[in-house]
Amino acid sequence: MTKRILILMSKTGGGHRASAEALKAGFAQLYGDAFEVEIIDLLMDYLPWPVRELPKSYSFLAGTTPWLWRLLFQATDEQITAATLNRMAARVLGQSIAPAFTRYQPDLVISVHPLVQYLSMRALKVMRLRIPFVTVVTDLATVHPAWFHPRANLCFIPSQEVYAAARKARLTPEQIRLYGLPIRPMFATPPQRGPELRARLQMNPDLPAALLVGGGEGIGKVASIAHALDAHLRADGKQLGQMVIICGSNRKLYDEMSARKWSVPVRVLGYVDNMAEWMAACDCIVTKAGPGTIAEALTCGLPIMLSGFIPGQEEGNVPYVINHQVGAYRPEPEDIARLVTRWFGPERGELARMAANARQLGNPRATFHIVEDIAALLGDVPPSLAT
Ligand code: UDP
């Protein structure tokens, strides 16, 4: 009989949704239709007004007043504070999310968001619904303690850096599984680099390419970096590189980038569904320190130039990239442009070394390992299909 799995996320940034979609695709690829997987935005669709409006303020807070976001993150960052606040919120709000479980009748619940653990556990307890609950952490190195609930059946973590935090939150080694961040199955078999791919994507076949992104919502300094890079990649009338600018859902950025005249070859795109192809076709990525983008870039062997980070959950991603020698961090667009131009010229060897390190560090099959362990919790599932 088909088993029902409910994935709880909320649209704060593109990462949680991307991870949820990755898991859903992983179930479909491994087990066909043996599982029915639903993804819901628990916070926006089930919390009462005005609490459900809070997630909407995330991109505003993180993008325009990062200091305020940092303050909120740090104020709740201690395990004891986080657990107490979460329990209080769960008491008040747990009731309101019960209809989600009544409606979907899940056999198992997966959370890919830090703010839903306590709420859902409370609701399940009140409803006396004894079904497995697992957490899949979608932050890479710095994690908020709200991710960890001691009664979760399993907690999947993406990196060694997160292990200590999970243990500090009283999770046992048996509860913790370390496979990597769940990224979409397309990254398990990224397309072949080379002229064919570049031709299909209408890129210059020869010039080294920098991929510029700003998460799902196209936030950060994408425009100023593009301007600086355009100036540096043209010297003495010669083109030293090309750019692909992915604006995500940021329409204003897309319009601005499309209207501009560039001195090197540039592709400007809105939200793309084939990120693995764009990553495979480029030679480095310039991005804010989003966990999803970093994990994906690693599997594609793409050196990473970090241009900034959201205080709190993305902060640890900077030392993660630097310490593993898979990229660099430069907050100023001019410095980014200078270093990327060197990577495309005299420091080509360094770029190749970082690409090799990235390939080593990436976990292209993390999604499948996570999905297999979750399926095992539901007992007699069919053997996984070949992937
Ligand atoms: N993404 C995508 N298409 C786009 C822009 C972004 O598929 O046009 C995906 C990207 O590949 C990554 C996610 O959106 O999986 C962004 O997640 P990240 O954690 O990097 O940043 P967030 O948006 O959550 O701040």
The three state secondary structure string of 5-69 is EEEEECCCCCHHHHHHHHHHHHHHHHHCCCEEEEEEEHHHHHCCCCHHHHHHHHHHHHHHCHHHH
Cα distance between residue 367 and residue 187, in whole Å = 10
**What is the pLDDT confidence band of residue 74, given thresholds at 50, 70 and 90?**
low
* Cβ count near 186 (within 10 Å): 20
Lowest mean pLDDT among 12-16, 35-39, 80-84, 263-267: 80-84
Q: Within 6 Å (CB) of ligand 1, which residues are found?
A: 13-15, 18, 213, 215-217, 246, 248, 271-272, 275, 290-293, 296
Residue 175: predicted pLDDT: 97
Using the predicted structure, report yes or no on whether residue 102 has a pLDDT greater than 70.
Answer: yes
Distance 222 CA to ligand 1 centre (A): 14
pLDDT in tens, 341-357: 999 999 999 999 999 99
CA–CA gap between residue 340 and residue 304 (Å, rounded): 10
pLDDT band at 386 (very low <50, low <70, confident <90, very high): very low
Helix (H, G, I), strand (E, B) or coil at 371: helix
For the chain, give the mean pLDDT: 89
Strands annotated E in the chain: 3-9, 35-41, 108-111, 133-136, 154-157, 176-178, 209-213, 234-235, 238-239, 242-246, 266-269, 284-288, 304-308, 327-329
Spacing, Cα 380 to ligand 1 middle (Å): 35
242-252, pLDDT tens digit by residue? 999 999 999 99
d(CA 30, CA 265): 40
Give the model's confidence band at 224: pLDDT under 50 very low, under 70 low, under 90 confident, else very high: very high
CB of 158 within 8 A of CB of 181?
yes
From 111, 108, 142, select the one nearest 43 (Cα to Cα).
111
CA 330 – CA 286 distance, rounded (Å): 10
Tell me the residue type at 332: E
pLDDT at position 90, please? 65
Whether a cis peptide bond, with omega within 30° of 0, leads into 191 is: no
pLDDT at residue 80, as a whole number: 59
Amino acid occupying residue 244: V
Which backbone phi and psi does 141 adopt, to 5 degrees? -135, -45
Ligand 1, atom nearest to 18 Cα: 15
Q: Per-residue confidence at 314, pLDDT binned at 50, 70, 90? A: confident
Strand partners, 41: 9
**Closest ligand 1 atom, residue 62 Cα:** 25
Least confident range from 22-26, 45-49, 194-198: namely: 45-49
Question: What is the pLDDT at residue 387?
Answer: 47
- The pTM for the full model equals 0.87
Q: What is the pLDDT of residue 347?
A: 98
378 alpha carbon to ligand 1 midpoint, in Å? 30
From the alpha carbon of 213, which atom of ligand 1 is closest?
A: 5
